[in-house]
Chain A
């Protein structure tokens, strides 16, 4: 196993971590805030 193999594994690992971070954060937001609030954005309003 050389440096490039290690880099490949690291790339997979970092990708999975980032995807998991986003999924967990999105799930947490969904639990913490009401759906009506999250969907309350209106076009054209300041």
Chain B
């Protein structure tokens, strides 16, 4: 109780009357949250883009989608430096667009992160199974290790955000370092010795349509960097930490993505690389260096754990915020009096992640997660235009102002449309299923839940009335 806040007046005997999430995070934690969620995509997943568009097609898609995410990072940094509250894009939507958009964005966030968490835990289980196989124990059941990963990380999240994201910083930095070590380990200064780009790289096997199709999987290089916004209510200075952590995270990912492509494309033919399960680990194996192999194995495990850890953090903040605003039962809006975490949201999402991990096929889980993220990015472009129109520069205090507006918002929207098309080419049925799910959820919100929402309490930022109101 001694740590509980006394923010509000009214405690006659000096007892606290209100409680809040702890403001203890800095830019390093924001970096760890954003990069931690994403980096697993460098260790696996991105390479399916090679299968769609060839090695060069994957590189083009990597940079084009990198542009999409740079726009996301810039837009998010500006809006979040102003709307400094848990919930991230959900809270932005609530303030700038309206309740139905906010409900949908909140749901995109929870689904994207919870499904990604399930996918990450499955990866840990599969890696344990692979290790057991190497040591002569075939057919190890991966399920206990999947559940253990979720349990340990949920427990860590339950006990406090500072330790959670400090751990994430350490393991994410180690995983990034593994990629850098692999890059130097293949002697890039001596082309032809280990790396065989000249022999392996060919023209686009499926032409430019293959490059477009590759965009869906190129998202793996960066998917989740927007999760930095969820830390907004727990950073000491949102105006400084969120832009600094997000933009430095984006730069880290662009470097990691380029190094990853360069090493893998120089070691494996595109036909193999395009369907490999753990391409960076395979690359380390191909060098014949046992130390590199161990480092990349550890890096792969660490990246999956960091991703699941960040996903639990982000999904619970979004769920908590929606509960606090009555978009969901208010029971979820509770803060732990000792650890100052959204403990009920964390607890509630554990069985959901376990069910996703055990019941749904991995590729479907990941596709649902990617599409939920993509819907969120589409919202961001429209949201940014509305935000600048309603609250022009100078009308409210911004911790960061992104340059060249409205160009990043327009570029983001165009690239989102292109990526929807890419998804339609490969996963048309999943795309329709995702849309149907969100339409049904919206109907539930409009006809059942909206009556509980206190419309007047929604707007919490000390802003002037929007222009033209």
How extensive is the interface on chain A, given as a class?
20 to 34
Q: Please determine whether A18 and B84 come into contact, CB atoms closer than 8 angstroms.
A: no
Q: How many A-B residue pairs have CB under 8 A?
A: 106
Q: Please determine whether A15 and B337 come into contact, CB atoms closer than 8 angstroms.
A: no
Proximity bits, B329-341, A CB within 8 Å = 1, else 0: 0110111111000
Q: Please determine whether A43 and B144 come into contact, CB atoms closer than 8 angstroms.
A: no
Which one of B8, B140, B158, B334 lies within 8 Å of A8 (CB-CB)? B140
Complex Cα–Cα for A9 and B144 (A): 8
Proximity bits, A2-36, B CB within 8 Å = 1, else 0: 11100011011011001101110110010001010
How extensive is the interface on chain B, given as a class?
35 or more
User: Which residue of chain A has the shortest Cβ distance to B144 in the bound complex?
Assistant: A11
Which one of A15, A22, A26, A41 lies within 8 Å of B324 (CB-CB)? A41
Which of B16, B158, B321 is the most central at the interface, judged by chain A CB atoms within 10 Å of its CB? B158
Which of B86, B141, B148, B460 is the most central at the interface, judged by chain A CB atoms within 10 Å of its CB? B148
Which one of B7, B87, B346, B350 lies within 8 Å of A45 (CB-CB)? B7
B422 to chain A, nearest CB (A): 36
Interfacial chain A residues near B325, Cβ < 8 Å:
43
Q: Please determine whether B337 and A29 come into contact, CB atoms closer than 8 angstroms.
A: yes
Closest 7 pairs between A and B when the two form their complex, measured CB to CB: A11-B144, A44-B460, A15-B151, A38-B334, A11-B148, A4-B137, A40-B18
User: 30 A–B contact pairs at CB < 8 A?
Assistant: A3-B137, A4-B140, A11-B147, A15-B144, A15-B147, A15-B148, A18-B151, A18-B152, A19-B350, A21-B155, A22-B347, A25-B158, A29-B337, A29-B338, A37-B16, A37-B17, A37-B18, A39-B333, A41-B19, A41-B20, A41-B324, A42-B7, A42-B18, A42-B460, A43-B86, A43-B324, A44-B460, A45-B7, A46-B7, A46-B20
B binding-site residues for A, Cβ under 8 Å:
4, 7-8, 16-21, 23, 84-87, 91, 132, 135, 137, 140-141, 144-145, 147-148, 150-152, 154-155, 158, 233, 321, 324-325, 330-331, 333-338, 343-344, 346-347, 350, 460-462
